[in-house]
């Protein structure tokens, strides 16, 4: 019997009541950004959560606020409202130190109309300061409030009992638990490989979140004309042509010198962490503007981290002169990112949904090159031909001797070159070897690593004296 899917539990409340802190506590790690500033969370994000033997999917949501129809706060509230679809339970969080506010009452009335079970959680209840607020909370009509301190981990036993009473599926059956431990070889392979982790990065306002929404076919990410709406790296699980993909939408990266707020520094650190954890990185640039130095700096970060890199030239439907724009973008990329020569630049329109299949085709092709392995025999046949075409230079009257090449790992393709004095090999000759490797073995756009090792061929049997 297949295991039941874990129930989904949404954490709802107005801004700054500690929803993300509770979310992180239930997830057992720092998943969401937490700051004193209200409205840090702007997109719904999910994470596996657990209290003792209760297992469920927790949903962190934007703060609920009343605002004009077109305001950013209204769009954030709509994100939170959409999160209620299909949830088994809502944890309605209030600030017990502040007491029940008119906004709490307004959204409590709204929640009662949603036909979903609700547990009222009075957060920040450590000490005696939260007692009066908990007394007021009885009037919201959701029964006894559960006093907790998400920051200090207090009150989780009572929260455990409240969830268990309302969501029995959060406790897996013994039969299902036993069965889950018996996996086939294909299941093990799936767990080891997992979904392709693809980070979507770029400057603010180039259309990253709109592109994520266009790819998955629904409004998963908050979008709008304001720059810097996305503040966290938010993963979205998706499937493209039977391929499991985890898209990670990220905050736009500005020049380091312009980052002066603690929250923006945290957002930038979250984006950099998403790049480090990714297998592939999609750099989104605005095709209606020249490629900026900051675009290229973000691309270099991905290359230095050794990730498969693809460039999406977004807003192509708004480009006046497509031929000139394409030439301008490709020439700038070629000149400024020679480490990934031949990288794919795909012209897309996230708003119109144009060319998205080709974009994902290029993503998987780039990942294939990034993961490519070459036999030592093929490499050394190529090396002999490359040396014959262009001998290494002589330094101080003595020619450098290159003896052997082998691939030491993939992801990215990394090669070790053995010989005498190879550490003195000029950079232009190293570029010649890397370029020839790239052209010969179809590694265009892959970040190739070349390690220079002194000594003889380590795989050749030692000669007897």
How many other CB atoms sit within 10 Å of the CB of residue 317? 17
- What pLDDT does 256 receive? 60
Q: 3-state SS string over 236-252?
A: EEEEECCEEEEEEECCC
Query: Taken in order 316, 321, 322, 326, is the CA torsion positive or negative?
Result: negative
- What pLDDT does 192 receive? 35
Q: DSSP string covering 330-391, please?
A: HHHHHHH-GGGTT--EEE-BTTTTBSHHHHHHHHHHHHHHHT----HHHHHHHHHHHHHHSP
387-401: b (≥16 Cβ within 10 Å) or e: eeeeebeeeeeeebe
- What pLDDT does 176 receive? 44
> Which residue would you say has higher pLDDT here, 447 or 33?
447
What are φ and ψ of residue 338, in 5° steps?
-65, -15
> Which residue would you say has higher pLDDT here, 263 or 396?
396
User: CB of 253 within 8 A of CB of 294?
Assistant: yes
Q: How far is CA 347 from CA 334, 344, 355, in A?
A: 16, 10, 7
- What pLDDT does 408 receive? 93
Task: Indicate if the pLDDT at residue 332 is higher than 90.
Answer: yes
> Picking from 63-67, 71-75, 184-188, 451-455, which range would have the lowest pLDDT averaged per residue?
184-188
Task: Indicate if the pLDDT at residue 70 is higher than 70.
Answer: no
Where residue 280 falls among pLDDT bands split at 50, 70, 90? very high
- What pLDDT does 185 receive? 32
Residue 1 CA to residue 319 CA, distance in Å, equals: 54
- Closest CA relative to residue 21, chosen from 70, 65, 58, 52: 58
Mean pLDDT of the residues in the chain: 82
User: CB of 314 within 8 A of CB of 205?
Assistant: no
User: CB of 387 within 8 A of CB of 440?
Assistant: no
Q: Return the CATH number of 186-370, one of 2.40.50.60, 3.30.70.1400, 3.40.50.300, 3.40.50.2300.
A: 3.40.50.300
- What pLDDT does 141 receive? 84
> Which residue would you say has higher pLDDT here, 118 or 188?
118
Task: Indicate if the pLDDT at residue 194 is higher than 90.
Answer: no
Task: Indicate if the pLDDT at residue 359 is higher than 50.
Answer: yes
Sorted by where each begins, the domain ranges of the chain are 8-182, 186-370, 376-454
Where residue 263 falls among pLDDT bands split at 50, 70, 90? low
- Could you report the per-residue pLDDT of 34-59, keeping only the tens digit for each? 555 555 555 677 888 888 888 898 88
Where residue 459 falls among pLDDT bands split at 50, 70, 90? low
Query: Would you state the structure tokens that stand for residue 449, as one six-digit string?
Result: 């690593």
- Which segment, 109-118, 121-130, 251-260, is predicted with the most confidence on average? 109-118
Residue 390 CB contacts under 8 Å (≥ 6 apart), including other chains: 429, 432
Three-class SS state of 11: strand
Task: Indicate if the pLDDT at residue 361 is higher than 70.
Answer: yes
User: CB of 251 within 8 A of CB of 266?
Assistant: no
Task: Indicate if the pLDDT at residue 271 is higher than 90.
Answer: no
CATH 1.10.287.470 fits 8-182, yes or no: no
> Picking from 221-230, 355-364, 416-425, which range would have the lowest pLDDT averaged per residue?
221-230
- What pLDDT does 376 receive? 94
User: CB of 8 within 8 A of CB of 59?
Assistant: yes
Task: Indicate if the pLDDT at residue 95 is higher than 80.
Answer: yes
Q: What is the mean pLDDT of residues 410-439?
A: 92
Residue 375 CA to residue 332 CA, distance in Å, equals: 34
- What pLDDT does 249 receive? 87
CATH 3.30.300.20 fits 376-454, yes or no: yes
- What pLDDT does 184 receive? 32
> Which residue would you say has higher pLDDT here, 245 or 62?
245
Question: What share of the chain in percent tops pLDDT 90?
Answer: 42
Give me the torsion for CA of 358, 359, 361, 366, rounded to 10°: 140
Q: What is the DSSP pairing of strand 345-347 with strand 146-147?
A: unpaired
Residue 338 CA to residue 353 CA, distance in Å, equals: 30
Q: What is the mean pLDDT of residues 103-111?
A: 85
Residue 430: CA count within 13 A, CB half-sphere = 17
Q: How far is CA 406 from CA 306, 382, 383, 393, in A?
A: 18, 11, 10, 21
Three-class SS state of 13: coil
Fold matches, 186-370 and 376-454: no
Residue 301 CB contacts under 8 Å (≥ 6 apart), including other chains: 272, 275
């Amino acid at each position: 019997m297949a295991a039941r899917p874990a129930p989904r539990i949404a954490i709802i409340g107005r801004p700054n009541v500690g929803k993300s802190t509770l979310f992180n506590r239930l997830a057992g790690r720092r998943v969401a950004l937490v700051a004193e500033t209200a409205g840090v969370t702007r997109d719904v994000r999910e994470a596996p959560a657990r209290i003792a033997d209760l297992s469920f999917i927790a949903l962190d949501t934007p703060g609920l606020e009343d605002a004009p129809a077109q305001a950013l706060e209204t769009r954030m509230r709509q994100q939170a409202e959409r999160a209620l679809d299909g949830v088994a339970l809502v944890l309605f969080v209030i600030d017990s130190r502040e007491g029940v506010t008119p906004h709490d009452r307004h959204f409590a009335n709204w929640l009662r109309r949603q036909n979903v079970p609700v547990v009222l959680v009075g957060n920040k209840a450590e000490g005696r300061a939260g007692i009066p607020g908990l007394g007021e909370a009885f009037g919201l009509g959701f029964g006894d409030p559960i006093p907790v301190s998400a920051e200090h981990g207090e009150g989780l036993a009572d929260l455990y009992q409240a969830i268990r009473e309302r969501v029995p599926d959060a406790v897996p059956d013994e039969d299902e638990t036993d069965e889950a431990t018996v996996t086939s070889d294909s299941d093990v392979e799936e767990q080891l490989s997992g979904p392709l982790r693809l980070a979507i990065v770029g400057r603010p306002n180039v259309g990253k979140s709109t592109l994520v929404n266009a790819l998955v076919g629904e409004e998963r990410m908050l979008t709008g004309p304001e720059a810097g709406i996305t503040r966290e790296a938010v993963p979205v699980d998706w499937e493209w042509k039977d391929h499991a993909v985890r898209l990670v939408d990220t905050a736009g990266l500005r020049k380091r010198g312009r980052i002066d707020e603690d929250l923006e520094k945290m957002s930038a650190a979250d984006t950099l962490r998403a790049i480090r954890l990714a297998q592939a990185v999609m750099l989104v640039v605005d095709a209606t503007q020249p490629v900026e130095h900051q675009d290229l700096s973000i691309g270099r970060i991905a290359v230095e981290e050794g990730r498969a890199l693809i460039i999406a030239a977004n807003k192509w439907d708004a480009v006046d002169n497509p031929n000139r724009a394409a030439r301008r973008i490709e020439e700038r990329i070629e000149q400024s990112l020679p480490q990934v020569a031949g990288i794919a630049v795909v012209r897309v329109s996230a708003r119109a949904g144009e060319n998205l299949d080709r974009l994902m085709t290029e993503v998987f092709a780039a990942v294939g090159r990034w993961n490519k392995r070459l036999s030592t025999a093929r490499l050394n046949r190529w090396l002999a031909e490359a040396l014959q075409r262009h001998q290494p230079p002589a330094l101080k009257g003595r020619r450098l001797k290159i003896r052997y090449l082998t691939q030491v790992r993939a992801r990215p393709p990394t090669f070790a070159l053995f010989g005498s004095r190879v550490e003195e090999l000029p950079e232009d000759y190293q570029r010649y070897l890397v370029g020839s490797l790239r052209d010969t073995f179809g590694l265009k756009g892959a970040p190739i690593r070349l390690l220079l090792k002194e000594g003889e061929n380590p795989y050749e049997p030692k000669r007897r004296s």
